[in-house]
């Protein structure tokens, strides 16, 4: 499905913060959806702030865990999904 010249996957990526949607396409989408562009931007801004807060908490927890287990080994904290 395409919405105002934007693929559904592109919008989904934008909502998740993995894609950047051109301003003209964003304006067109707001027009097609019948919403103010500010609503689209604010919804995304809130999601980005939440994502940043979650990442900061994760880094803080990893730092504390790493500091408590600092036995000069090569162990690194493991992030969700199994990556270090």
**For 4-40, what is the HEC assignment?**
CCEEHHHHHHHHHCCCCCCHHHHHHHHHHHCCCHHHH
pLDDT at residue 18 above 70? yes
Confidence of residue 1 (pLDDT cuts 50, 70, 90): very low
More confident call, 43 vs 17: 43
In a domain, 20, yes or no: yes
Structural domain containing residue 23: 2-67
Q: pLDDT digit string (tens) for 19-73?
A: 777 788 888 888 988 999 888 888 878 888 888 898 898 888 877 777 666 555 5
pLDDT of residue 74: 55
Number of structural domains the chain divides into: 1
In a domain, 84, yes or no: no
Pick left, alpha or beta for residue 12 (phi over 0 → left; psi -120 to 50 → alpha; otherwise beta).
Answer: alpha
In a domain, 74, yes or no: no
Rounded distance, CA 52 to CA 7, Å? 26
Token pair for residue 10? 């592109």
pLDDT of residue 34: 92
């Amino acid at each position: 499905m395409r919405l105002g010249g934007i693929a559904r996957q592109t919008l989904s990526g934008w909502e998740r913060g993995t894609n950047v949607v051109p301003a003209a396409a964003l304006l067109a989408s707001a027009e097609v959806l019948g919403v103010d562009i500010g609503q689209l931007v604010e919804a995304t801004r809130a999601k980005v702030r939440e994502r940043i807060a979650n990442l900061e908490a994760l880094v803080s927890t990893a730092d504390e865990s790493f500091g408590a287990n600092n036995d000069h080994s090569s162990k690194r904290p493991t992030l969700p999904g199994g990556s270090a």
